[in-house]
A = this chain, B = another copy of it.
């Protein structure tokens, strides 16, 4: 196969859609490279700086916004999250596929990016839970959050789900295994797109 530019695989979906599991597996199987996000939230136990996230202070984060170093950024639950443009471009130009696990606001900013490499590379997909009942079950199933947090997350998830028509592709979640087969097939299919070959 001839050389090609990388795909920017932009993956959104509410909490409980299973999108993070899909993205991690894609990265673990070396199908795509995880775009490490920046965040101002505090590290959770076991999270490593530069691996799970780049953990930044609020002033550091605001400086990166000001200097145009971020491809996208958003505030979620009181914390900032964002992605370094350089982190993504370097990989795409080297022909590496990049997977971004991103909320709907962030995805909208990436779509609005005028950078030609970003525009050329973008494949956006929305992962949906099959229905509200299953979503509630998945959000409750974690067992780590209070009922109030679950209700807030449920409302946020349902709000976030309304954004699916802005995406090019959609998976309605079935089993983890099924979802992953479709998720990977789409990436493999997009690799065959002639406009990516250089």
Interface residues of A, Cβ cutoff 8 Å to B: 1-2, 125-126, 164-165, 167-172, 181-182, 184-195, 197
Contact = CB atoms under 8 A, between A and B. Distances in A.
A169 B197 CA distance: 10
B182 A169 contact: no
A185 B184 CA distance: 8
B2 A164 contact: no
Most-contacted residue by chain B among A167, A190, A192, A193 (CB, 10 A): A192
B193 A185 contact: no
A191 B195 CA distance: 20
Contact of A188 (B126, B170, B185, B197): B185
B185 A165 contact: no
Contacts of A1: 172
A171 B182 CA distance: 19
A169 B185 contact: no
A197 B170 contact: yes
A171 B164 CA distance: 30
| Residue of A1, A126, A195 with most chain B CB atoms under a 10 A cut-off | A1
A156 to B, nearest CB: 22
B2 A192 contact: no
A191 B171 CA distance: 10
Contacts of A171: 192
Interface centre among A126, A181, A184, A188 (most CB of B within 10 A): A188
